[in-house]
Amino acid sequence: MQIAYQGEPGAFSEAAARQVFAEAGPVACKTFEDVFDAVEREQVACGVLPIENSIGGSIHRNFDLMLQHELVIVGEVELPVVHHLLALPGTTVDQIRRVYSHPQALAQCDRFLRTLSGVEIIATYDTAGSAKLVADGDMHDAAAIASARAAEVFGLTPIKSSIQDFEHNVTRFLVVSKPGRRAPSNAQADKTTIVFTLPNEPGALFKALSVFALRGIDLTKLESRPIPGRRWEYLFYVDLTARDQVACSRALAHLGEFATMLRVLGSYPSCKPADSGLAAPSPIERPA
């Protein structure tokens, strides 16, 4: 089985693809759009796409692409993300004048990057691709933020490790496939992702959310995205628990009675991350 992912070998998306199927053949794609195209053309069985990071937030481009394509979500993966500052062997931090990485990785390492003086921060299409850029260009005055595996793949050395702002840095990936294809897991679907629009009238969102609250259905994510070409109108993306399929179906039927658009993007088994052995994160500090 082949699974498409965005980036170069050594990207975190490649690790997520291998987590979906340990024996899968990961297929590297230049862009997120290329991942969708590879799945739609049946060049691969499914694709793995980052959708949310616990530090940097949502990857909005993939929300938008989900609506533009007729693929369905068949699974999800959560991957701990540890960032390293990678450079050519022998390079020191004092020699670094440029740091390359994906915008999400740069955002996740903002505190560390602020400690570097006289260094240009340059956004690229991929973390592992940034490592490849430094290696291929023989750049002794540059570094990349990427994974430890990317260092191995491209012959770089970690000169600073675990540089993300918070120790508990996790990215959630969606597994997408063409409708009707076999899901990557035989586990029962207990999560559903939907997108809908509402009429612009008082209480519309309250009414929409009440169809789930009245049936005891938990919403694990709610996010709005602008509707292109329609000023100040929004799409609402929702992740909800779907353990009671009857209650979920009735809630969606109820929502469909007044939503101006409703689409189910997929019902799938939620990720059950194993205990990492790390201590629980400290509470969020609030001002006195």
CA atoms of 193 and 175, how far apart (whole Å): 12
Cβ atoms of 74 and 31 within 8 Å: the answer is no
Distance in angstroms (rounded) separating the CA atoms of residues 204 and 258: 9
Residue 85 CA to residue 161 CA, distance in Å, equals 6
CA nearest 270: which of 79, 80, 75? 75
Token pair 């570094």 is at which residue? 143
Distance CA 236, CA 116 (A): 39
The CA-based dihedral angle spanning residues 277, 278, 284, 288, taken in that order and rounded to the nearest 10 degrees: 110
171 an active-site residue? yes
* Dist. CA 120–CA 142, nearest whole Å: 9
Assign 3-state DSSP to the chain and report helix, strand, coil percentages, each to 5: 30, 30, 40
- Nearest partner of 256 among 192, 190, 189, 197, judged by Cα: 197
Is there a catalytic annotation at residue 173?
yes
Bridge partners (DSSP) listed for residue 86: 144, 158
Q: Which residue has the tokens 């929702």?
A: 238
The residues, any chain, with a CB within 8 Å of residue 28's CB and separated by 6 or more, are 5, 6, 7, 8, 9, 11, 14
Residue identified by tokens 């595996």 is 149
Catalytic residue among 173, 196, 212, 236: 173
Are 96 and 87 spatial neighbours (Cβ–Cβ below 8 Å)?
Answer: yes
Catalytic residue from among 124, 127, 171, 193: 171
Active-site amino acid positions: 171, 173
